[in-house]
Structure 1
Amino acid sequence: MSDATQALHKIARGTGIIFAGTVISMFFGFLSRAIIAREFSTSEHGVFNLALTVLSIALVIATLGFQNSLPREVAFYKEREASRIGSLISIALAIVLLTSLAVTLFLVSGSAFIARIFNEDRLIYALRIMSLALPFSALTGIFIAISQGFGRVRERVYFQNILYSFLWFSIVGVTVLLKLKFYYIFIAYVMAQAVTLFILTFDMFRIKLIQLESVDFELGKELVRFSIPLMLSGIAGFVMTWTDTLMLGYYKSSDVVGLYNSASPLAKLLPVFLGSAGFIYPPLATALYAQGKVGELKRVYQILTKWIFLLTLPIFAMMFLFPEATIGFFFGAKYVSAAPALQILALGFMFHTFLGLNGLSLVVIGESRFVMYSTLISAVINVVLNALLIPLYGIEGAATATAVSYFVTNVLNSLRLYQRTEIHPFSWNYVKPLVVSFVLLGVIKRLNLRVAGIWYALPILVVFLGVYFFLVLLSRSVDKEDVELLLAIESKVGVDLGIIKRILRRFV
């Protein structure tokens, strides 16, 4: 078995676990959002989303990019200087604790100023309460990043995906059942973050995954220098993701923000497989690159990108072909007018998905500064387009700005990755499924089908997927690694996949 195949097996196994956790997290997350959207007014829903957006940006600043850098650094020191891992972890936790407390104080004291920017007085108490969750969420993120560096997915799935999501949903549900006032939603958010951190910390020390040692300030300086470009990339990434919400709040109203945030969370479902694979990909890709096996890394990148695209296509097809049915099912009829925005956002996030893990691959090969530059360029484009398009086109303009910015950053990252390593996703067996999908989507879109609800759309989607996968097989787009992975899954789960194996082997 080649190094590429071994890496793909590990990525597939880790991706499956992360995806299961992500689905559970999204399930409870959507239930929580749906409860808030249905039980409170659209303006209150908008206030919650504005506060959450501000807090998300503050979290990136408070963690200094450590959530992206620590997995690589822990994995590196584990291989080269294992004796320094304790010091690395200690200094990282100390720095993030101090920065998160400082940012919390800033948000509490500056909440009135931030509220004036968005002409929303209710944002004052929202920020003053929700900002108290920042140290808890920051330290939780750092603990997860440390476990990721050790190649573990348990902490991410059990505590961040399942425990926190269930706590948040449960406390929101209790808040609504008791008919408490709206500001209790923000208290519920703080409680969920605090309890999650407490239980995660206890477990990390119980299994001795973390052993604190004396603080090494020189190591801290190295970590900060490496992480700052990733922090700036993270800030720019949040600008790309959340500027639409913030500028809608500035130019329009909290009602419009609430309407838009029925489409936005749905579109953000599309990179779920990309993100799941991205959790386990960096340490394995780093090992191949460090050994000089760029050809193996390219093969991993191409096969992985094809898998991600094939898995994401059904979700994209539902959102793009039947946006009204999708939004109506999750958020209710009063949000159906956001359907055009969902289509536009779905295109942007699907483009982000089908080019693969280009940004993470650049970090693996040491190009974190280029990732920073490309993300900053795209963020500037995002802000400019939002300023130009929102006053004219409202939520459709905001969606267009976001989609364009994702297009730009992915093109730039993919071009740089190819320039440095000649790695790209477009194997012939990936191009063929792409062409088939574009043609079929175009045909169905041209038919202009109208459906009364999601249950009427599902049979059409099933037929689409059946025809699609038949044409993929007919075009012989199956790689030998696909069959090898299927054999590994069969061995792991103990289920006989004989018919499927015979079909795939016939079309390799």
Structure 2
Amino acid sequence: MLVCFHRLGVRRIRNILKELQGIYLRSDELSEEFEKVLVRTSRDAFVVFVGNFLSTLFLAVSAIIVARLLQPENYGIYSVSLLVSSVLLLFTDFGIDSALVKYVSKFNALRKEEIVKEVVFKGLVLKLFVVSVVSVVNYLFAFELSTTLAERPELAYYVSLTSILTFSTALMNSFLAIMTALGRMKLRSFVMIMQSLTKLLLSPLLVLLGFGVLGALLGHIASYVVSCVTGFVVMLSYVKLKKPRENIVRSYDLVRFGLPLYLSGLLSVVLQRFQYVMLARIATNAELGNMQAANQFISLITLTIAPFSITLFPVFSSLEVRGAWREINELLNNVLKYMSIFTVQVALMIGVFSQDVIRLIYGRLYVTAPLYLTLMSVGYVYAPFTVTLSALLSGLGRTKDLLYSSAIQLLIMMPVSYLLISSAGPEG
């Protein structure tokens, strides 16, 4: 009997040792894989930073030139003309882009290329249908939309032209999401740089040729059309427009995952658009032009945020599917620390030197822009926490938590914004 128990004990110990050895080997493999993920993420973040920096630089130069050529009054008209398109863009996604990032990065990490192509094909077909409907509404109801949202019916012609902008921008965003999920950051940066460079070349040129606000608007629209066509050609060569044989992921699955994220983003953007619509009703064109000029410098802050926010979502998704929780925690802590250091410092510097920067770049005509820039920069002090946690929750599939957070923010900020803007104007 003792011999039997002894043999059973030895076998049990051997089995435990084998299990521990297997876990150790898997841990080593995962650690090696995690090191590769860190290297790839760092490289992708740098590529995104360079692409965003050049893109932002070209856009900033274009905005400065156009603002100086048009002067505050016409620059305000140009800004309001883009309002309707920016609002309608809220209804062109329904979380499809976020779902594309999630599923494409997930199956790409598992090296299942056929399923990846299936997700890309179904996502683009679904997005094309939604975007087409919204763009037609933008064109057919331009007068009603410009009257309702901005109380400027005289801008109906400009608003009708932005239907092309709505279509091309929405599709370009989907192409960028797919490139991000596939890790093709160089191509993503190339598309963004092409868009900004096209705008830099066309918008000032058309204004100088005497087209005024129309020229600036056409240059802006053309830049997104060029980028959209480029992205379409790339995706065309990838999926080859063949109906996928697999049926692992349905279009319904894309919407089901992305809808909470869409609603979360929608609530946040609705708050922003609510504030801007109120400003369009209350503020003068000159005040709106000053706000638009100040808003151009906020892109300097987003330069420190975008490389992390863009790359973290697919990285968290790929780590989550492998169950690498320790690596996720380590990555989160490091990224949060670095983002807090860089982003907060940049925001404070812009807020402190806002008056000098505005006068140097735009001149003395934009009187209230320094104050607006200071107020805007303060809101980005907490951006590292919100951006990092949003990417983490999205990658882990905890999309309902993001929805609850956005709902609470909307319930608090909407009445507060109404009271402050009504009483204090743009400063509120």
| TM-score of the superposed pair, with normalisation by structure 2 | 0.85
Q: Deviation of residue 179 (structure 1)?
A: 2.0
| 187-196 or 220-229, which deviates more | 187-196
Tell me, yes or no, if structure 1 residue 226 matches structure 2 residue 226: no
Tell me, yes or no, if structure 1 residue 136 matches structure 2 residue 168: yes
Match of 2:52 among 22, 25, 30: 22
Q: Deviation of residue 358 (structure 1)?
A: 0.7
CA distance in 2, matches of 1:228, 1:255: 38
2:263 is paired with a residue whose SS is helix
Q: Deviation of residue 258 (structure 1)?
A: 1.4
Q: 1:380 to 1:187 in 2, by over 3 A?
A: farther
1:266 is paired with a residue whose SS is helix
2:350 is paired with a residue whose SS is helix
Tell me, yes or no, if structure 1 residue 48 matches structure 2 residue 81: no
Cα distance per residue 1:334-390 (max 9 Å; x no partner): 224232222221111121125551111111111112212212332343332221101
Match of 2:398 among 334, 357, 367: 367
Letter in 2 for 1:293: A
CA distance in 1, matches of 2:73, 2:409: 29
Tell me, yes or no, if structure 1 residue 386 matches structure 2 residue 414: no
CA distance in 2, matches of 1:340, 1:276: 28
1:378 is paired with a residue whose SS is helix
1:269 is paired with a residue whose SS is helix
Letter in 1 for 2:326: G
CA contact (8 A) 2:100 2:181 kept: yes
Q: 1:288 to 1:218 in 2, by over 3 A?
A: closer
Map of 1:84 onto structure 2: 115
2:240 is paired with a residue whose SS is coil
The percent of aligned pairs where both chains have the same amino acid is 21
Map of 1:62 onto structure 2: 92
Tell me, yes or no, if structure 1 residue 307 matches structure 2 residue 374: no
CA distance in 1, matches of 2:374, 2:357: 11
CA contact (8 A) 2:106 2:318 kept: no
Gaps of 5+ in 2: 1-30
Q: Deviation of residue 108 (structure 1)?
A: 1.8
Map of 1:295 onto structure 2: 326
1:334 is paired with a residue whose SS is coil
Q: Deviation of residue 288 (structure 1)?
A: 2.7
CA distance in 2, matches of 1:154, 1:380: 40
CA contact (8 A) 1:22 1:157 kept: yes
CA distance in 2, matches of 1:169, 1:189: 9
Cα distance per residue 1:16-55 (max 9 Å; x no partner): 1101111111111111211222111323222322333332
Q: Deviation of residue 5 (structure 1)?
A: 5.1
Cα distance per residue 1:476-500 (max 9 Å; x no partner): xxxxxxxxxxxxxxxxxxxxxxxxx
Letter in 1 for 2:313: P
Q: Which residues of 2 match residues 445-460 of structure 1 at below 5 A?
A: none
Map of 2:186 onto structure 1: 154
Letter in 2 for 1:36: V
Q: Which residues of 2 match residues 79-478 of structure 1 at below 5 A?
A: 79=110, 81-117=112-148, 118-159=150-191, 161-205=192-236, 208-214=237-243, 219-354=250-385, 356-397=387-428
CA contact (8 A) 2:41 2:311 kept: yes
Map of 1:38 onto structure 2: 68
CA contact (8 A) 2:203 2:218 kept: no
CA distance in 2, matches of 1:57, 1:65: 16
Larger Rg: 2
Q: 1:287 to 1:120 in 2, by over 3 A?
A: same
| 178-187 or 363-372, which deviates more | 178-187
Letter in 1 for 2:243: S
Letter in 1 for 2:223: A
| TM-score of the superposed pair, with normalisation by structure 1 | 0.72
CA distance in 2, matches of 1:237, 1:217: 32
Letter in 2 for 1:42: P
Q: 1:176 to 1:109 in 2, by over 3 A?
A: same
Letter in 1 for 2:177: A
CA contact (8 A) 1:301 1:357 kept: yes
CA contact (8 A) 2:316 2:396 kept: no
Q: Deviation of residue 316 (structure 1)?
A: 1.8
Q: 1:2 to 1:382 in 2, by over 3 A?
A: farther
Gaps of 5+ in 1: 398-508
Letter in 2 for 1:115: S
Tell me, yes or no, if structure 1 residue 71 matches structure 2 residue 101: yes
CA contact (8 A) 1:4 1:297 kept: no
Letter in 2 for 1:211: K
Q: Deviation of residue 318 (structure 1)?
A: 2.2
CA distance in 1, matches of 2:322, 2:119: 24
Report the RMSD for the aligned CA atoms in angstroms.
2.3
Map of 1:506 onto structure 2: none
Q: 1:120 to 1:41 in 2, by over 3 A?
A: farther
CA contact (8 A) 2:66 2:204 kept: no
Q: 1:86 to 1:8 in 2, by over 3 A?
A: closer
Q: Deviation of residue 102 (structure 1)?
A: 0.8
Letter in 2 for 1:305: L
CA distance in 2, matches of 1:302, 1:240: 30
